[in-house]
Chain A
Amino acid sequence: MLSALANPKRFMEFSGPALPWLWGACAGAFAIGIYLALFASPPDYQQGETVRIMYVHVPAAWMAMFVYTFMATASLAGMIWGHRVADFAAKAAAPVGAVFTALALITGMRWGKPMWGAWWQWDARLTSVLILFFLYLGYMALWAAIEDPFRAARAAAILCLLGFVNIPIIKFSVDWWSTLHQPASVFRADGPTIDGSMLAPLLVMATAYSLLFAAILFVRVRTEIIGQRIRALRQMALSEDASA
């Protein structure tokens, strides 16, 4: 399936009809998620209404890590098999991941102030997520700084793979170091510790964020493929002019 989509023509044929369905599913998931998160779910017995920030903060934080993992996988595929669509996918995902990371940081700060009494703490989880945000910015800057797209893809892929070491650090920072941030409460070996009335909106919002990522990714990869066609056509026109 994935190797079939590595062909730009097949990707365009697949993503075109899939996009309206993706946008529709995304809108539906957001409608249900917003209703559950803001109206149907109860306030937390300790956090009160502030728990509703979790329904935008946690999915953003999950997506921040997932998108980077996706980029690292795509970068590796691009380096090993030389698939252009894999390079485009990694490039296209970066701004989306950067926005998710920024949102995880901003919404986390809005939760931290009433709960911890501080907007920011230089603890392991917060600092490693801030580093992830800078990795996204560095990755995008590298693509923008190198004119040749092939060289840019290779350099950015190396940076992305080196930066991937930060993902397990983020994930396990709450276990390895003493931090203010609470440990995992959903993805645990002994099952989630959250009540079902709060787990449902969290998972629906996470689904909505995932569908949004997929839809934006498809649009942005299509943009990259069309951009490559434009560059190729301009190159051909220049060569014809030179030979005439």
Chain B
Amino acid sequence: MSETYAEYVWPAWVVSATALSVLVALSLRAYRQHVRRLAEL
């Protein structure tokens, strides 16, 4: 792996993948919580 890859390319991809995964996870968690709350009412 070249120095450019390790220093610049991978961090950009890892940050993007992490941020988008967290966004998906939080959105799905909020949805499931709302579905559960509605079922409880």
| Interfacial residues, chain A to chain B (CB-CB below 8 A) | 38, 48-50, 52-53, 56-57, 60, 95-96, 99, 102-103, 106-107, 110-111, 113-114, 212, 216, 219-220, 222-223, 226-227, 229-230, 233-234, 237
A60 to chain B, nearest CB (A): 7
C-beta contact mask, B2-28 vs A, less than 8 Å → 1, else 0? Answer: 101101110111011001100110011
A-B contact count (CB 8 A): 77
Chain A CB count within 10 A is highest, among B7, B12, B28, for B12
Task: Give Cα A49 to B27, complex, Å.
Answer: 33
- Cβ-neighbour of B28 out of A53, A107, A219, A237 (below 8 A): A219
Task: Give Cα A216 to B41, complex, Å.
Answer: 26
Q: B15 contacts A106, CB within 8 Å?
A: yes
Q: B8 contacts A56, CB within 8 Å?
A: no
Q: B4 contacts A226, CB within 8 Å?
A: no
Q: A230 contacts B30, CB within 8 Å?
A: no
Q: B24 contacts A216, CB within 8 Å?
A: yes
Q: Which residues of chain B have C-beta atoms less than 8 A from A95's C-beta?
A: 23
- Cβ-neighbour of A226 out of B5, B15, B28, B34 (below 8 A): B34
Q: A103 contacts B15, CB within 8 Å?
A: yes
Q: Which residues of chain B have C-beta atoms less than 8 A from A223's C-beta?
A: 27, 30-31, 34
Closest A residue to B1 using CB positions: A49
